Amino acid sequence: MHQCTAFLFFCIFLSGQLSAQSAPTLSTTGDAVIVTGARYARPAVESPDRVTVIDSATIARSADLSQLLNEQAGIVINGAYSNPGKDKSVFLRNGGNQYTLILVDGQPLIDPSSLGGAVDLRLLSLRGIQRIEILRGARSLLYGSDAVAGVINLITEPAHTAPAGDGSSPVRWHLRAAAQRYNTYEGSVAASGRTEKLEYRLGYDYYTTRGLSEAAEPASGQHDFDRDGAQRHTYSAGLTYRPTEHWTIRPALRHATFAGDYDAGPFTDAENTYTNELWLPSLAADYVKGKTSAGVRYTYAATDRIFDDAAFGRSPFRGRAHQGDAYAILRPRPSLHLTAGAQLRHEKLESSFPDVPNLTAVNLAPYLQFNWIPAERWLVEAGYRYNHHGDFGGQSNYSVAVGARASERLGFRASVASAFQSPTPDQLGGPFGANPELQPQVSTSVEVGARLDDPTGKFRIDLAVFQRNIEQLIVYDFQEGYLNRDALRDRGIELEAAVRIGQRFHLSGNLTYVSGRLREQTAPDQVTETTDFPRRPRLTSFAGVTYRAESPFLLRLTGSYTGERQDLIFDENFAPLRPTLEPYALVNVYTEYRFGGARGLTVFGEVQNLTDSDFVEVSGFSTVGIVPRLGVAYDL
């Protein structure tokens, strides 16, 4: 019944309200340029992969990264609409939080201090992000460990001033401020400029909220739970220097701090605090001459997490990660790109226990990839990667993808690829259940898809069917510690569509159905299977209607549906409880008006959860009610 309800919800937006249009949030148009999936920028029509592109206009209209990602096909962000300071988990195509790799400008954001190496989304502000590219499926060929379910690439803003070659130009300022319910305020300022050989951008973003109680108050009894607030500061700096016509050098620095309160558990108030600090310097250099290009990339990520818990005391976790990439691209003819490269990753978890040494892990991986257009309507992409890890030794990955255009409007694609996730330093040598004999988790993903689009951009429909198998799952056993034991299979279908009606209305939406099967070896001769996964619904959908007036006025109405799913919590005796969470729908409305064109003043307003839906993301924890938001942005 719930699945039928979700499908009707999707159809109502897609076919019953054809007086509508969406902003381009779902995937690329035919002439869009994408940079994720290869070591060079290329038009979407020259990629056999399906890449979702979230553009700068959509990002500017969004309040929060987790809520924006939650609107995309196949992605569920658990905690997106809980207390603003609550932790967020990324479930991509039913994969666990640790199986999605976050990239910043194409380089992995690595955090050895976290459970499974997952990135804390609360550290990442949308301000200063120009576009987001999402590539689903096994992507270890180029990006290495953790890219099992897919990658999410946050591409930062370049300078937006005069065209190159115009000489020096004045500084351009970007100002933004907004306020919303729960005493939540945000503000940002950025400056950018350009000379003949140099571009720069400097930015600062501040976010603060008093929030609401993270733990939900029990229905019975007298309770007065405290509100759990949070703050985030983000500093960013980026330079682009072109000393000659062949060289481009891009150093960048990002520093973010997040501090927030959290409670003791479901329906349990507490005075606990959490802080996390991220330093992310990086350097990219590119050389292009004729049919040859080469590049080097270096990223250093330093994270410091501190939990101050009233029951367990102070727990610091310090992670350090270096990653370097070097590659060369040959283009012997216009239809062929050959890429050869190598990646070196070094991770370190600094121990807070006196008898436990610092833990390190090193992986060196050469790889090859070729992109070939054998005929006008065909695309072929294939590659191989060999990983040499300091602990588990050798492991290989491969990727093969084919794209074909049956006509100007209809295209098909198919791919098969493998990926891996290395054991974390904590799993290999930490103080709790470590196992130095752990092997990597390995996956194989198969996907077929079709795309029907109008060359003039009037409509687009994209369908994907996929299966992912993960073997040697790393699990924690209370008696044996960490071990490779279980296997997971996920299957699903994703449908995305967009329609443009005239010059004023756009309509877009997506629908995802995914089912999984986990095989657990609970005893030497006993295997159990489950098809329910905590907080991961089988069915989700999203739809949006956008109206653009002739004047600089925009109105957008969106709705999302999250299906029934199982939860997992523990009682006071640490016994597992698996309640069923009811499905829910959320409706948001956004509007903006521009004064003075693209470089003037924009006034915007939004109401989230317009119908005041009562829903649960995690049992025993609060979710937001109606959230009005008002703000201004000014470019000068």
**pLDDT on residue 38:** 86
Confidence of residue 354 (pLDDT cuts 50, 70, 90): confident
187 token code pair: 């503000």
**The two three-digit tokens of residue 556, written as one number:** 């957008």
Mean pLDDT confidence for 113-139: 92
* Mean pLDDT estimate for the chain: 90
If pLDDT is split at 50, 70 and 90, which confidence band does 21 have? very low
pLDDT in tens, 397-416: 999 999 999 998 999 999 99
Q: Domain residue spans in the chain?
A: 2-218+233-635
Rounded distance between C-alpha atoms, residue 201 and residue 179, angstroms: 25
The CB density around residue 479, as the number of other CB atoms within 10 Å, is 5
Q: Choose among 444, 419, 439, 445: nearest CA to 427.
A: 439
Alpha-carbon Rg for the chain, nearest whole angstrom, is 24
pLDDT of 506: 95
Residues 62-71 pLDDT 10s: 999 999 999 9
Higher per-residue confidence, 49 vs 587: 587
CA triple 85-78-425, angle to 5 deg: 85
* Count of other CB atoms within 10 angstroms of residue 48: 22
Alpha helix stretches (DSSP H) within 100-210: 140-143
Largest interatomic CA distance in the chain? 75
Return the number of other C-beta atoms located less than 10 Å from residue 187's C-beta: 16
- pLDDT > 90? residue 498: yes
CA neighbours closer than 13 Å in the CB half-sphere of residue 286: 14
> What pLDDT digit, counting tens, does each position of 216-262 carry?
998 876 678 999 999 999 999 999 999 999 999 999 999 999 999 99
The Cβ of residue 313 has, within 10 Å, a number of other Cβ atoms equal to 8
Using CA atoms, how far apart are residues 246 and 492, in angstroms rounded to an integer? 45
Output the pLDDT for position 32. 66
Instruction: Give 488's contacts (C-beta < 8 A, 6+ positions apart).
Output: 468, 469, 470, 473, 516, 517, 518, 519
Domain 2-218+233-635 in CATH 3.40.50.1820: no
- For residue 324, the model assigns a pLDDT of 96
Q: Give me 347's structure tokens.
A: 């991770």
* Alpha carbon distance 134, 232 (integer Å): 25
Residue 574, phi then psi, degrees to nearest 5 = 65, 25
Q: What is the mean pLDDT of residues 562-587?
A: 91
At residue 25, the pLDDT reads 36
Phi, psi at 226, each rounded to 5°: -70, 155
Closest CA to 593 of 531, 550, 541, 558: 550
Q: What is the DSSP letter of 611?
A: T
Minimal CA–CA distance to 558: which of 75, 52, 17? 17
**DSSP per residue over 68-122, as a string?**
HHHTSTTEEEETTTB-TTS--EEEETT--GGGEEEEETTEE---TTSGGG---GG
Helices (H), 409-504: 425-429
- Residue 223 CA to residue 567 CA, distance in Å, equals 24
Q: What is the pLDDT of residue 222?
A: 66
Instruction: Answer yes or no: are the C-beta atoms of 283 and 300 closer than 8 Å.
Output: no
Q: From the CB of residue 149, how many other CB atoms can be counted at a distance below 10 Å?
A: 31
Q: Which pLDDT value is given to residue 159?
A: 64
At 373, is the pLDDT very low, low, confident or very high (cuts 50, 70, 90)? very high
pLDDT band at 417 (very low <50, low <70, confident <90, very high): very high
pLDDT above 50 (res 1)? no
Q: Does the pLDDT value for residue 210 go beyond 50? A: yes
Q: What percent helix, strand, coil does the chain show, rounded to 5?
A: 10, 55, 35
Give the angle subtended at the CA of 303 by the CAs of 184 and 280, to the nearest 5°.
85
559: pLDDT strictly greater than 80 = yes
Candidate from 25-29, 407-411, 499-503 with smallest mean pLDDT: 25-29
Query: Is the CB of residue 50 less than 8 Å from the CB of residue 27?
Result: yes
The Cβ of residue 576 has, within 10 Å, a number of other Cβ atoms equal to: 9
Q: How far apart are CA 61 and CA 604, in angstroms?
A: 8
pLDDT of residue 17 exceeding 70, the answer is: no
The encoded tokens of residue 318 equal 């310090």
Model pLDDT, residue 2: 42
Ranges 132-136, 374-378, 496-500: which has the least confidence: 374-378
Is residue 90 pLDDT above 80, yes or no? yes
Q: Do residues 443 and 395 make contact, with C-beta atoms less than 8 angstroms apart?
A: no
* Interstrand relation of 150-156 and 100-104 (parallel, antiparallel or unpaired): parallel
In this structure, what token pair is assigned to residue 270? 């507490």
Return the minimum-mean-pLDDT range out of 16-25, 428-437, 578-587.
16-25
Q: What pLDDT, on a 0 to 100 scale, did the predictor assign at position 357? A: 85
Model pLDDT, residue 11: 40
Q: What is the pLDDT of residues 298-328, one digit of tens each?
A: 999 999 999 999 988 999 999 999 999 999 9
| Location of structure tokens 């790109």 | 337
| Cα–Cα nearest to 259, from 278, 280, 277 | 277
In this prediction, residue 46 carries a pLDDT of 80
Residue 44 has what pLDDT? Answer: 80
| Residue 276 host element (H or E) | strand 272-289
Q: Mean pLDDT throughout 45-67?
A: 91
Q: What is the pLDDT of residue 4?
A: 43
Please return the burial class of 152, using the count of CB atoms within 10 Å of its CB with bins 0-12, 13-18 and 19+. Answer: buried
pLDDT band at 169 (very low <50, low <70, confident <90, very high): low
- Token pair of 464, please? 């994907």
| pLDDT tens digit sequence for 594-620 | 987 667 899 999 999 999 999 999 999
In tens, the pLDDT along 443-469 reads 999 999 999 999 888 999 999 999 999
Between 40 and 211, residue with greater pLDDT: 211
Q: What is the pLDDT of residue 271?
A: 94
pLDDT score of 7 more than 60 = no
